[in-house]
Copies of this chain bind each other. A is one copy, B any other.
């Protein structure tokens, strides 16, 4: 391939993968709108009354977006320096899964329902986060979540044990005659209760069942404070670490608009 081909591929790569050039930004916005529209059509087509009325228009739109996304997918492969890296990346697989079902529907009846996988492309919304003002915001969130992962795992283990033990107890106390017809279903009820969702599709009816349920509810109501406390503390730390650090005295907790170190008075860089 000559120089011009390389240039052409670099240019395409810059537009499709990058978001620093005006064209790159425009492409990102256009792609995002196309994804939103294609998802909207999947959503609307699932409503029976809309499907009856506009079914054929939706089919045309579906094929339009499928061909559009196919072209985009091929361009992404062509313009990549190492196509295999893109193909087997997280977004690469999602991009492929988003176009496959429509083609499959020609061969396999019923496979068109798989088109809802296309909603996963919505995850590209996180590319929007590359915008300068969101970088810092999401960095703080990610650092806080990362630093609190061990505490969160300990917390989830407690929750897991609690719902299994409580679900089993409720199965013994209430039994199948009140809807608790298996331990897995009772565990499902325990999760519904502990998380304070409370559908009410299964609810205790005996005195002891309601008493135990009350204990579980108050536990669920109170221990929500634990992950909240964990994340708050880590977020406070992550928020501070993100601040300017004084080169002179190593002190770290300066406000965003600080110009001088609050401890030693040296100018902050």
Which residues of B are found within 8 Å of A221, using beta-carbon distances? 194-197, 220, 224
Query: Are A141 and B233 closer than 8 Å at their CB atoms?
Result: no
A168-180 near B? 1/0 per residue, CB < 8 Å:
1101100010000
Complex CA gap A96/B154 in Å reads 26
A25-68 near B? 1/0 per residue, CB < 8 Å:
00000000000000100111011100000000000000000000
Query: Are B235 and A229 closer than 8 Å at their CB atoms?
Result: yes
Interface size on A, residues (CB 8 A): 99
Task: Report, nearest first, the 4 A-B pairs whose CB atoms are least far apart.
Answer: A197-B198, A199-B200, A137-B150, A195-B221
Minimal Cβ-Cβ distance residue in B for A116: B168
Which residues of B are found within 8 Å of A48, using beta-carbon distances? 176, 181-182
A164 at the interface (CB under 8 A from B): yes
Complex CA gap A232/B221 in Å reads 15
A257-269 near B? 1/0 per residue, CB < 8 Å:
0001010010000
Query: Are B39 and A164 closer than 8 Å at their CB atoms?
Result: yes
Partner of A262, one of B171, B185, B211, B251: B251
Complex CA gap A121/B239 in Å reads 39
A192 at the interface (CB under 8 A from B): yes
Q: How far is the CB of A168 from chain B (nearest CB, A)?
A: 4
- What would 4 more interface pairs be, CB under 8 Å, given A39-B164, A123-B161, A137-B154? A141-B154, A195-B218, A195-B221, A224-B224
Within 8 A of B (CB), among A7-40: 39
The segment out of A74-82, A85-93, A126-134 that lies at the interface is: A126-134
A125 at the interface (CB under 8 A from B): yes
Query: Are B230 and A233 closer than 8 Å at their CB atoms?
Result: no
Query: Are A183 and B265 closer than 8 Å at their CB atoms?
Result: no
Could you say which of A168, A183, A214, A237 has the most chain B C-beta atoms within 10 Å of its C-beta? A168
A138 at the interface (CB under 8 A from B): yes
